[in-house]
Structure 1
Amino acid sequence: MFTVITGVFIFVVSQLLMKFVIDPAVELKREIAGLTNTFLRRSSSEDTLAMTLDTALELRVHAATLMQCLWSVPMYKVTTSFWTAGRSTYRSSCA
């Protein structure tokens, strides 16, 4: 009986962790990738400052979705330290 209760408890805790921490973090990373895709796809090699109305609207939609994703990640600063472990030195060397 103890084994069944322990198994159910571990299942419930892991599902809560997945739904409230991991899924929002994955959604945030997916939205960042979509924003990067839009920047790279819409960038013009001739004139990088030119932005059409369509591009501006698409970037506004990405910005709104990105803000929504940021608010859905619980304890954002703590959570991001788990995903970016070991990559901070790479980012600082490229800047």
Structure 2
Amino acid sequence: MKTECDLLIMEIRSLLYSIRHHEVDMDFTVFFTVLSGVSIFVIGQLIVKLVLDPVHDLKKIIGQISHTLIERANIIANPGVPTREVMDETSNLLRKLSSQLHAHLYLIPTYDVTCRIFRLPSKEMLLAASTHLIGLSNSVYSADHNVYKTNARRVEAICDSLGIYIAEESRYPKEIKRCQSKIELA
């Protein structure tokens, strides 16, 4: 016969077993919660570092190109006129921007897909803009009287390739477009 003491011991064992079993379930729940939190954080950081940061940097470079084309417009439009030091500085800056633009193309993984998601210029457009920047960098020294036309077309090609806005009245050739608009108004 079981005594009261034996029944009490059995009851305590049963209670301890259920507590331990519940703690094990709770430990697994905490473990999986922490593991999923860490996994989501790591995946998020990978996306930020491998995709978002390079895309942001590319957009910064496009902004710098836009800024440089405006800031150095007097040198680009009048090649051979400024001092040698100013021409060297402009040439080096344009070449550096071209190199950075080219490099950022390869920093962004699966660029063909990423460019559609983030509305970036296509690979071909980026390479065309890079080529035109090198052309501008080489032409700031030339004093040929027709080089300003080529430079104006290059600036337009760069802006069109990178999605930089140019007002219609700022496009080349200004004189022809003004004459056409006056004729249309008459």
Bigger Rg over Cα: 2
Query: Residue in 1 aligned with 2:110?
Result: 75
Using the size of structure 1 for normalisation, the TM-score is 0.79
Q: 1:30 aligns with which of 57, 60, 67?
A: 60
Query: Residue in 2 aligned with 1:12?
Result: 42
Matched, 1:61 2:91: no
Query: Residue in 2 aligned with 1:48?
Result: 77
Give the length in aligned residue pairs. 87
1:29-71 alpha-carbon deviations (Å, 9 max, x no partner): 11111111100111029x7252633211110011111111111
Q: Whole-Å Cα distance in 2 between the matches of residues 84 and 16 of structure 1?
A: 21
Q: Whole-Å Cα distance in 1 between the matches of residues 51 and 89 of structure 2?
A: 33
Percent sequence identity is 32
Q: Whole-Å Cα distance in 1 between the matches of residues 116 and 58 of structure 2?
A: 14
| Deviation beyond 6 Å, 4+ runs, structure 1 | none
1:67-95 alpha-carbon deviations (Å, 9 max, x no partner): 1111101111111111129xxxxx6xx89
Q: Whole-Å Cα distance in 1 between the matches of residues 42 and 118 of structure 2?
A: 23
The residue matched to 1:50 in structure 2 has which SS? coil
The structure, 1 or 2, with the larger RCO (C-alpha pairs under 8 Å, 6+ apart) is 1
The residue matched to 2:74 in structure 1 has which SS? coil
What is the RMSD computed on CA atoms of the aligned residues?
A: 2.4
What amino acid is the match of 1:23? Answer: D
